[in-house]
Each structure stands twice: as C-alpha cells, then as structure tokens.
Structure 1
Amino acid sequence: MIRTKLFGALGLLAVSFAVAGTALSVGGKQPDNATKEQSKAADPHMSHFMDCAKECDDCARICNMCAAHCTKMVAEGKKEHLETVRTCIDCATLCQSASAIVIKNGPFSDLICTACAEACKRCGDACEKHAEHDAIMKQCAAECRKCEKMCRVMMKHTIKGDK
C-alpha cells in the first residue's frame, strides 16, 4: 500500500516535471531585445543582471570543458595540470552559483559576484600558465578574464552597490 502510494506520487511528480520542462523548452529561449527592454523598464539594472548571468554561464561551461581536458592530461602523466583541474572545477561551480543568484537579483548578488570575480582571476591565472601551448587552456583563461570583468562591473549594480 505504501509502495503503491509512493510510486504513484513519484509518477505524478515526474509528469509534473515533464509538463514544466515542455513549457520551459517552448518558451525558454534566450531573451530577445524586446524582452530585455521590458525588463529594463521594470528595473534599469536588469539588463546588467542578465548579461552577467549569461557570462557566468559561458565561463562555467568553458571551465568544465577545460577541467575535463586537464583531467585527461593528468591521466597521461602531466601532473602539473592537477592544479588547473581543481581551479577549473571550483571556478565553474562558483560561476554557476553566481548565474543563479544574479539572474534573480538575489540579496547575495554582491557577495557571489565578489567571489566569482576572484575565482575567475585565479582560474585565469592558472590556465594562462599553459595557454601558450594549449588552445583550450587559452580559451579558458580568456573566458575567465571576461567573466571576472563582468562580475566586477556587476558589483556596481547590486543591491549593496545601489546604496
């Protein structure tokens, strides 16, 4: 009896997620200029939040790719890449968190942008050491620099920065 209710509830939950996912995928495209203008009218800082969240997402994606690349190199015996595996993973995690908080103008936007900017600086520095001979690490360093800059700009538009 309990098992039947549990599986029934899980099935209902799965259907709910599937319906929600379909709705999001239908309307879940990137905001166009009209949407950005509407958001800007509601909150003049919103376009900055959207741009920062996008840059953080982009950086997280590249850092995850670089972490996988460096993991492969460590497996091949290039132990000097262990540091970049770890920095890229941590940077990606912070960037994903920053994106999630910043897009909704969360009360800790200033804190996460500060942490994200510093993580991107450190990760960019670590990847830059190998960038001359490795295109993926060069790309990661460049993306980290862009995200660091965007997060530092974003700090001026956060709740704390408005006061």
Structure 2
Amino acid sequence: MMVRRELILGLGATSMAGALLGGFSTAQEPKVPAGDAAPHHAMAAIAQKIAACSVECSSCYSHCTMNVAAGKKEHAACAAACLDCADICAMASRVVGRHGAFLSIVRDACVQACLACSIECEKLAADPMMKKCASVCRECAEACKRMHIQA
C-alpha cells in the first residue's frame, strides 16, 4: 500500500513538473534580462533546465523498467542511473532556485549524476528515448558547470 502511494505521489510530481515546464525547450537557452535581476533570472533559468532533466530522467527510468520487464536486462543499470539522476536533479533544482547555502555542493553532485547517467544512456543510444535522455543530461551538466556562484 505504501509503495502504491509513493508511486502515485511520484507520478503526480513528475506530471506537475512537466506541466510547469511545458514551454521550456532543452534546445534553446532561456533569455536572461540585464540589470540587477539578471543573476536571479539566470539561476531561475538553470533551475528550470535542471528540473526538465529530472522529468526526462524520470520518464527514461519508466521506459527502462518496462524494457527490463520485457526481458531486456541491459536496461537495468540505466534504470538505476536515471532514477538517481532524476532525484538528484529534482533536489538540485530546488536548491538552485532558492540560491541555497549548499549550492556548490549540489551543483557538483548534479554535474556528476548527469554525466554518469548520460554515459549509461549512451550505451543504449540505438533507442531514441535513451539517446534523448543522454542529450538532456549532458545539456544539464553543461548548464550547471556554467553556473556562477557568488561566495
């Protein structure tokens, strides 16, 4: 019963994040206004990119688990990587969005998780879903690397 409730809550959170991010394309960088608000808007844009990566990894995790259930055991390691990456990105998007105290630690963890997930997904790049997830993870890692953190 507990697992079902967690699954429903997780799917609801993923759906909500997808709805909130509906117009955000990973292929284009969001425009950041100049002036005093620029740093805040830049961080908000990065937080959105990280949240989009979380949603993509959650979707890829679901895809992998269906493949594993269908007998494609090679998707098992990727499912684990996608699930962990989705969780790390979800947490990172919240910390980045609020300019949290552990921003540099979270940024580094997000970069590492996204790069590791992209490597796992690229092993199965013949599958379009895996190829897309790998690309989104790499874009997220690059956005995090470019993040300017003020001391």
Same fold (TM over 0.5): yes
Whole-Å Cα distance in 1 between the matches of residues 38 and 49 of structure 2? 19
1:148 to 137, 141, 147: 141
Q: Which residue of 2 aligns with 1:85?
A: 79
Deviates more, 1:47-56 or 1:94-103: 47-56
The higher radius of gyration belongs to: 1
TM-score by length of 1: 0.70
1:64 to 47, 58, 68: 58
Whole-Å Cα distance in 1 between the matches of residues 90 and 36 of structure 2? 25
4+ residue segments displaced more than 3 Å: 40-44
TM-score by length of 2: 0.76
Alignment RMSD, CA only?
Answer: 1.9
SS in 1 for 2:114: helix
Q: Which residue of 1 aligns with 2:7?
A: none
Q: Which residue of 1 aligns with 2:123?
A: 129
**Which ranges of structure 1 fall in alignment gaps of 5 or more residues?**
1-27, 31-35
**Which ranges of structure 2 fall in alignment gaps of 5 or more residues?**
1-19, 23-31
Cα distance, 1:70–1:29 mapped onto 2, change above 3 Å: closer
Residue type of the alignment partner of 2:141: E
Residue type of the alignment partner of 2:65: T
Q: Percent identity?
A: 36
Residue type of the alignment partner of 1:52: I
Aligned residue pairs: how many?
Answer: 123
